[in-house]
Amino acid sequence: IQRDSRFAKLTEKHVKFFRELLGTESAVIDGVTKDATDDVEAFNSDWMRKYRGHTKLVLKPGSTEEVSKVLKYCNDNMLAVVPQGGNTGLVGGSVPVFDEIVINVSRMNQIRSFDEVSGSLVADAGCILEVVDNYLAEQGYIFPLDLGAKGSCHIGGNVATNAGGLRLLRYGSLHGNVLGIEAVLPDGTIVDDLSKLRKNNTGYDLKQLFIGAEGTIGIITGISILCPQRSKATNVAFFGLESYEKVQLAFREAKGKLGEILSAFELMDANSQDLVHKVTKNKRPLEGEHPFYCLIETSGSNAEHDSEKLEKFLEDVMENEIVSDGVVAQDQTQIKALWGWREGIPECLGHWGGVYKYDVSIPIQELYDLVDDTREKMDKAGLIGDTDEYPVVKVVGYGHMGDSNLHLNVATRRFDKKVEKELEPFVYEWIAKRNGSISAEHGLGIAKKNFIGYSRSDTMIALMKQIKNLYDPVSFPPLDDQSALD
Ligand code: FAD
Ligand code: MLT
Ligand code: ZN
């Protein structure tokens, strides 16, 4: 793709304006008037080291009013921007493609209010998820989203990507939990919809458009969200199974027997656990190796009752030969260690070089077939070998079984065109044939942008373009005049 020539190039005059506007030295990282290559580098490249832009300017506004003034100036001067939160996104959406100005909201990191009765929290978009969750823990509450990147991702970034995570099974999607949003549109208009109401059927629910929009129609500066009470008791079990059929049986049993306390049901295949083992060298939770592993978490109000239920569940599924072997964590340290085998997968996968990531929704019966079929294809193409000539290390499957959300990952020694050509459009066609989604929870970003047609009809795409044009008419012309975008 080509840089859109309608956008202006940054000049010293622009930088001077931003310096005067934002005041604080640390709010402007400037590689235009001086050499600041190292300083801007972290903002130019994504978590996977797959996507890299060439910005020379990072702006860190400290308030919603400052975001508004920055965006208005950029809009008036045709300066392209990319919003950035914790930069943990996995589809290349948080970094510039060309020389867009990075607008990073990390300085906006205050909790604005918390209502101990209703559980509604209002906070700046730049708050780090784990920091907010720790704050809520002190009040006896929990953030209704948890994911492996919690130590650096922002709650604004989570809402912008409509992140799913590890407990969607229990707490549902952010579309249901977010009560209100404060955002700034591309022309600087502040959308103040920080409602704390659970119910509000007065016209269109416009905040929903910002949830999962990946920053395309505005920058989220604050959110209000309904937080559930923190469960008094958490238990975790980890078990091994001999086939994907047995995984499905175990899932049905878990829903039936642990229903009201089940808070996570995660799937990991043998390859994913091999990689975690190779990188961390940690002792495996179970003796021997199994083709599949599952992690179950329960959250309830009675520790004794819950662990009795979980132990009984494990006993039953082992007796019925659904599960081959299993273990229940006995304390917090063991709970953390077991979760490490699941949460550690993304980081360990990156250890060899490049990772091709496909985050997909597929009908649950066929979920793992995609991994088998992809592995077979890579094998036939002679690409598996973990050598310079055969760069694929492993084809791996894991994910949020409870949400029919699979993460197909292909770990390689390096990003390689030959590998990519085997994977795409193969994976997308496979998913479209089963009416699945090519992006279950990570979004489109730059990685999936051109493949949206595999999951959305022409009519849906046209409606999305109309919305983008409505909110961002300067950079996105109307549908009948998009020649400038070619
Ligand atoms: P960024 O990466 O900075 O940005 C992501 C997108 O949102 C970009 O398009 C950016 O332009 C936009 N954006 C960011 N902030 C704003 C804002 N304030 N206003 C408007 N737009 C904004 N995702 C899941 O869904 N489930 C998981 O289980 C999960 N686990 C992960 C585990 C690891 C180890 C990693 C690295 C990532 C994981 N992710 C997961 C990916 C997920 O998208 C992000 O972790 C998170 O939601 C993004 O937040 P962020 O603040 O880092 O956003
Ligand atoms: C996860 O579930 O671990 C995340 O979505 C990250 C990934 O897909 O690797
Ligand atoms: Zn995930």
Question: Looking at ligand 2, which atom is closest to the CA of residue 359?
Answer: 8
Q: Is the ipTM of this complex over 0.85?
A: yes
The architecture CATH gives domain 111-226: 2-Layer Sandwich (3.30)
Ligand nearest to the CA of 153: 1
State the pLDDT at residue 479: 76
Banded pLDDT at 267 (limits 50, 70, 90): very high
Mean of the per-residue pLDDT values for the chain? 96
Ligand nearest to the CA of 154: 1
Q: Is 273 in the pocket of ligand 1 (CB under 6 A)?
A: no
Query: What average pLDDT does range 452-481 have in this prediction?
Result: 93
Amino acid at 393: V
What percentage of the chain has pLDDT greater than the value 70? 99
The protein residue whose alpha carbon is closest to atom 8 in ligand 2 is 407
Ligand nearest to the CA of 152: 1
Q: Is 359 in the pocket of ligand 2 (CB under 6 A)?
A: yes
Question: Looking at ligand 2, which atom is closest to the CA of residue 405?
Answer: 2
State the pLDDT at residue 477: 81
> How many other β-carbons are positioned within 10 Å of the β-carbon of residue 78?
13
State the pLDDT at residue 484: 64
Asked if pLDDT for residue 482 goes beyond 90, the answer is no
SS (H, E, C) 140-206: CECCCCCCCCCCCCEHHHHHHHCCCCCCHHHHCCHHHHEEEEEEECCCCCEEEECCCCCCCCCCCCC
| Separation of CA 296 and ligand 1 centre (Å) | 24
The protein residue whose alpha carbon is closest to atom 9 in ligand 2 is 346
Q: Is 188 in the pocket of ligand 2 (CB under 6 A)?
A: no
Query: What's the pLDDT tens digit per position in 136-178?
Result: 999 999 999 999 999 999 999 999 999 999 999 999 999 999 9
Domains of the chain, residue spans? 12-104, 111-226, 233-343, 349-451, 456-486
Please name every residue paired with 103 in a beta bridge, in sequence order, or none if there are none. 59, 83
**Same fold: 233-343 with 349-451:** yes
Q: Is 93 in the pocket of ligand 2 (CB under 6 A)?
A: no
State the pLDDT at residue 353: 92
Banded pLDDT at 118 (limits 50, 70, 90): very high
Chain Cα centroid distance, residue 12: 36
| Separation of CA 447 and ligand 1 centre (Å) | 14
Q: Is 397 in the pocket of ligand 2 (CB under 6 A)?
A: no
Kindly state the tokens that stand for 162.
Answer: 């409509």
State the DSSP string of 422-468: HHTTHHHHHHHHTT-BS-SSS--TTTTGGGGGGTS-HHHHHHHHHHH
Question: Looking at ligand 2, which atom is closest to the CA of residue 342?
Answer: 3
State the pLDDT at residue 303: 87
Residue range 233-343, CATH number:
3.30.70.2190
Q: Is 167 in the pocket of ligand 2 (CB under 6 A)?
A: no
Q: Cis peptide before 425, with omega less than 30 degrees from 0?
A: yes
The protein residue whose alpha carbon is closest to atom 10 in ligand 1 is 94
Question: Looking at ligand 2, which atom is closest to the CA of residue 346?
Answer: 9
Please name every residue paired with 411 in a beta bridge, in sequence order, or none if there are none. 355, 394
The protein residue whose alpha carbon is closest to atom 42 in ligand 1 is 89
Residue range 349-451, CATH number:
3.30.70.2740
Q: Is 349 in the pocket of ligand 1 (CB under 6 A)?
A: no
State the pLDDT at residue 485: 66
Asked if pLDDT for residue 111 goes beyond 80, the answer is yes
Asked if pLDDT for residue 481 goes beyond 80, the answer is no
Q: Is 215 in the pocket of ligand 1 (CB under 6 A)?
A: yes
Q: Structure pTM? A: 0.97
| Separation of CA 166 and ligand 3 centre (Å) | 7
Query: What's the pLDDT tens digit per position in 30-66?
Result: 999 988 888 999 999 999 999 999 999 999 999 999 9
**CATH assignment of 12-104, given 1.10.10.10, 3.40.109.10, 3.40.50.300, 3.30.43.10?**
3.30.43.10
The protein residue whose alpha carbon is closest to atom 5 in ligand 2 is 165
Q: Is 88 in the pocket of ligand 1 (CB under 6 A)?
A: yes
Banded pLDDT at 25 (limits 50, 70, 90): confident
CA angle at 73 for the pair 71 and 75, rounded to the nearest 5° = 65
